[in-house]
Structure 1
Amino acid sequence: MGKTSIIVGASSDIGKAVLMTLDGAGNQFIAHGCHNVAALENMRSSMQGNLHVLGADLSDAGSCEAFISEATTLCNSPDHLVFAQAQRLKLTRFKKLSRQQILEQLDVQMMSSMMIAKAFLPAMVKRGNARVVFVLSSVTLGMPPAAMADYNIAKYAQLGLMRSLAAEFGTKGVRVNAVSPSMVDTPFLQDIPNNMVIQNAAAHPMRRNASSEEVASTVAFLLSDGAEYINGVNLSVTGGECV
């Protein structure tokens, strides 16, 4: 019997890699996108599973509610719920950081995750053996980088939400976990100075940054039956950079 996965932030490189990793005959995917919905639409013909693409601006509560309404019409009790959404990373010194920037990060990453989880988890509990995975960041594993306070705050808020859900729903047949990758080579970094990306790779224990596929394979493991006894874990996917 196929699985149904809701992937929030599926239009990101990591989101698309998760889609391809989980793809299989009989599976159904409800894929959220914001700025690159066309890329998801273009994937439909190459996938074995059934792909439904829904667009929404998660910084807007009304748009998020509309996404939830459309998604519940397609499936109100998914097997998997994956949160891979994030605003594009930009470096901003704390003294120049605005309240609005932090609120936008929190809306996209934490508030939308809370609203979507609240909508689907009750039915996921009833169906049993469900999985939730958050794609966080290695900023939650130690001292975070400077000039990224808005992003860091949002990721820690997601981490708090993940562990709260794990504590509340772990006894009800739902496993809730997170993966925290170090720097991943994707367009998400395009507003970061290229020399910083190159220097990070050179200083890494494996002498390279991570790939989207490597993050996706770890997400797929946490969604699998093999992760039955894992709950509330923030799994480091950093190639030894953070332990």
Structure 2
Amino acid sequence: MAYTYLITGATSDVGAALIRHLLTEAPGEDRTILAQGCGDLARLDALVQQFPGRIVTFDADLSSPEAVDALCARFGKDLPCPTHFVHLPALPVVNAKFKAFDEARFQKDWEIQVHSAVKLCKAVLPAMSKAKFGRVLFIQTSYTIGCPPKNTAAYVMNKSAIGGLVKSLAVEYARFGITVNCVAPSMMETHFLKDTPDLIVQAAAADNPMGRNATPEDVAPAMAFLLSEEARFITGVTLPVTGGSAIV
């Protein structure tokens, strides 16, 4: 079977690691990656060269509902309908006390993470339902498991909304052979942390039972599993990838 993976936020470190994993773990399978970025597609140049003809890149500003609508209209036309949808985009975490809550930034992140997810799911789920097969995967955070750290209200609120969407879609679409899941990594040392003070990053590593923070290479295999045929009876779950720092 030919698989088409739509990966939004593909230019992130996690997105690149997942693409590399998907295209190397099953070299005999027919897999095409639709990789979305926003003004940063050059980050995927090395992968495009490594896997010629396997990755289709496109630029779309997910903070713009109009741009998301335009993207959704392309599926089944100049872009194939995805069999797999992985939604990764988010603004970098900003640690700020609630009294300094930035409503404009929160709204932008809501559009990028949540509103675009709703629109894209509405666009891709009908074809998956007709085919009686589909995989949908989101990235949450260990911050939504148990007690979150202080000064992360905006980030936790958006990620919690994603968790609610996952559970609702999982129940509604299970009968169509579609699974909907999340991975919830602990802190990963990527460019996503560029606005997070080093002391916070170092403290998270010291507090982790494994003595370090996560890497994209830790998370990509877990994501690939939830996207696989072997995970066909797993839906509506949030899988912690935390080195033991958050356990459910």
The TM-score bracket by the shorter chain reads: over 0.9
Q: What is the deviation of 1:116? A: 0.3
CA distance in 2, matches of 1:143, 1:84: 23
Q: Alpha-carbon deviations, 1:85-130, whole Å to 9, x = none?
A: 1111111211011322221121110100000010010101111221
Distance 1:155 1:91, change over 3 A: same
Spell out the pairing of 1:55-204 with structure 2 (5 A cutoff).
55-204=59-208
Q: Alpha-carbon deviations, 1:40-97, whole Å to 9, x = none?
A: 2342110166111111111111111222233443445322100111111111211011
Point out where structure 2 has 5 or more consecutive residues left out of the alignment: none
Q: Write the letter of the residue equivalent to 2:17.
A: A
Q: What is the deviation of 1:16? A: 0.7
Q: Write the letter of the residue equivalent to 1:21.
A: H
Work out whether residues 55 and 67 of structure 1, in 8 Å CA contact, stay in contact via their aligned partners in 2.
no
Q: Alpha-carbon deviations, 1:116-147, whole Å to 9, x = none?
A: 01001010111122111101111111111111
CA distance in 2, matches of 1:189, 1:146: 16
Aligned to 2:242: 238
Work out whether residues 14 and 212 of structure 1, in 8 Å CA contact, stay in contact via their aligned partners in 2.
yes
Q: Alpha-carbon deviations, 1:134-188, whole Å to 9, x = none?
A: 0111111111111111111100011111111101101111010100000011010
Point out where structure 1 has 5 or more consecutive residues left out of the alignment: none
Partner-residue secondary structure (3-state), 2:74 = helix
Q: Write the letter of the residue equivalent to 1:141.
A: I
CA distance in 2, matches of 1:167, 1:49: 36
CA distance in 2, matches of 1:156, 1:191: 21
CA distance in 1, matches of 2:141, 2:131: 30
Aligned to 2:19: 19
Work out whether residues 204 and 241 of structure 1, in 8 Å CA contact, stay in contact via their aligned partners in 2.
yes
**Quick check: 1:31 aligned with 2:35?**
yes
Aligned to 1:213: 217
Distance 1:97 1:115, change over 3 A: same
**Quick check: 1:7 aligned with 2:11?**
no
Q: How many residues are matched?
A: 243
**Quick check: 1:225 aligned with 2:229?**
yes
Work out whether residues 130 and 175 of structure 1, in 8 Å CA contact, stay in contact via their aligned partners in 2.
yes
CA distance in 2, matches of 1:96, 1:72: 44
What percent of counterpart residues are identical? 37
Work out whether residues 27 and 49 of structure 1, in 8 Å CA contact, stay in contact via their aligned partners in 2.
no
Work out whether residues 30 and 71 of structure 1, in 8 Å CA contact, stay in contact via their aligned partners in 2.
no
TM-score w.r.t. structure 2 length? 0.93
CA distance in 2, matches of 1:73, 1:153: 35
Distance 1:74 1:218, change over 3 A: farther
CA distance in 2, matches of 1:59, 1:109: 8
Work out whether residues 130 and 173 of structure 1, in 8 Å CA contact, stay in contact via their aligned partners in 2.
yes
Q: Write the letter of the residue equivalent to 1:171.
A: R
Q: Write the letter of the residue equivalent to 2:8.
A: V
